[in-house]
Chains A and B, each alone.
Chain A
Amino acid sequence: MQFLATISSLPFYILATISIICALGMILNPNLVRAGFTLIGTFIGIAGLYFLLNANFVAVSQVLIYAVGIVLVIVFAVMLCSLKEEAHNIKESVFSSKARVTFAVLISSLVFAVLSFVIRSQDWQAIAKLTGAERQSSLVQLVDDKYLSQIGFLMLNKYILPFELVSVLLLIVLIGTILLSKKDIK
């Protein structure tokens, strides 16, 4: 039984390790284009975690939007700026300024300590009981393939206002990006 539980938790640990290693690689890789491609590993690992969490549609959106769309756009922008000679300076500057590294390590480890303390101090079993998740999780198997229709239902009923606002935001971004990247900007 113990062995079975360990085996079933293995995918989580593998995917989490891949994501974290790739995220660290993105930060520490001196070559910007390679750093952009390393980001794909992080996003794919997170998409795998979404599959483990029964969020198939979110996982596929993650792969389509992040791992393909956003990474591709960032890498193209990096190539447009052609920072080949600057890439060597960055490696130097990242590791030379000791004060900056110390500050960053201090702040981020402090944030992690506070977050993990808060997570550990909550009684998640009680909260799950409060929201009725215990009772519902027996029904989950029945509605396992209904997640997508549930998301669509939510977006067109309860969250109709944010849904429309996102479409307005995307239109504004489209116009704004075209305006910004025009050559003769006034």
Chain B
Amino acid sequence: MTVTLVHYLTFSALLFSIGLFGLLISRNAFRVLMSIEIMLNAVNINFVAFAHFLDPLAVKGQAFSLFVMAIAAAEVAIGLSLLLLIYRNRMNIDMDSFATIKW
């Protein structure tokens, strides 16, 4: 059995679900950020796999995955500086304590 597109897509779905699991289970904001990174990577695998199996000449999926990487880097930079700011003001980064703006 050779590795086909279905294998890559299933692996990506599994990785995405693991990232979602980590996002829901973790109370620490840093771990939430790491889980989001895993989910973005899972989506990137889809892009590259589609580019390889369905569009092998004009590899548009690879260009898309590079855009996703740039946006992920931006997201991490902003997210971490916000977290450091919150930590400086409140001295903890527990997700459950970010309920100040809740109605």
- A interface residues (Cβ-Cβ under 8 A, vs B): 5-6, 8-9, 12, 16, 19-20, 23-24, 26-27, 32, 35-36, 39, 42-43, 46, 49-50, 52-55, 57-58, 61-62, 65-66, 69-70, 73-74, 77-78, 80-81, 83, 86, 90, 93-94, 100-101, 103-105, 107-109, 111-112, 115-116, 119-120, 124, 127-128, 131, 133, 136-137, 139-140, 143, 147, 150-151, 154-155, 158-159, 162-163, 166, 169-170, 173, 176-177, 180-181, 185
Contact = CB atoms under 8 A, between A and B. Distances in A.
Contact of A143 (B11, B57, B72, B78): B57
A52 to B, nearest CB: 8
A8 B4 CA distance: 12
A173 B25 CA distance: 28
A107 B20 contact: yes
B16 A105 contact: no
Nearest to B89: A185
Contact of B58 (A20, A105, A154, A177): A154
B86 to A, nearest CB: 10
Contacts of A58: 44, 48, 62, 65-66
Interface of B: 1-11, 13-22, 24-28, 30-31, 33-35, 37-38, 41, 44-45, 48-49, 51-60, 62-63, 65-67, 69-74, 76-78, 80-85, 87, 92-94
A163 B70 CA distance: 10
Contacts of A43: 41
Contact of B55 (A73, A78, A133, A176): A133
Contacts of B67: 159, 162-163, 166
Contacts of B63: 151, 154-155, 159
6 contacts: A8-B3, A27-B26, A74-B34, A107-B24, A115-B17, A170-B70
Contact of B74 (A5, A140, A169): A169
A94 B6 contact: no
Nearest to B61: A55
Main SS at interface, chain A: helix
A6 B87 CA distance: 51
A154 B25 contact: no
Contacts of B49: 53
Contacts of A120: 6
Given A131-B54, A133-B53, A124 B5 contact: yes
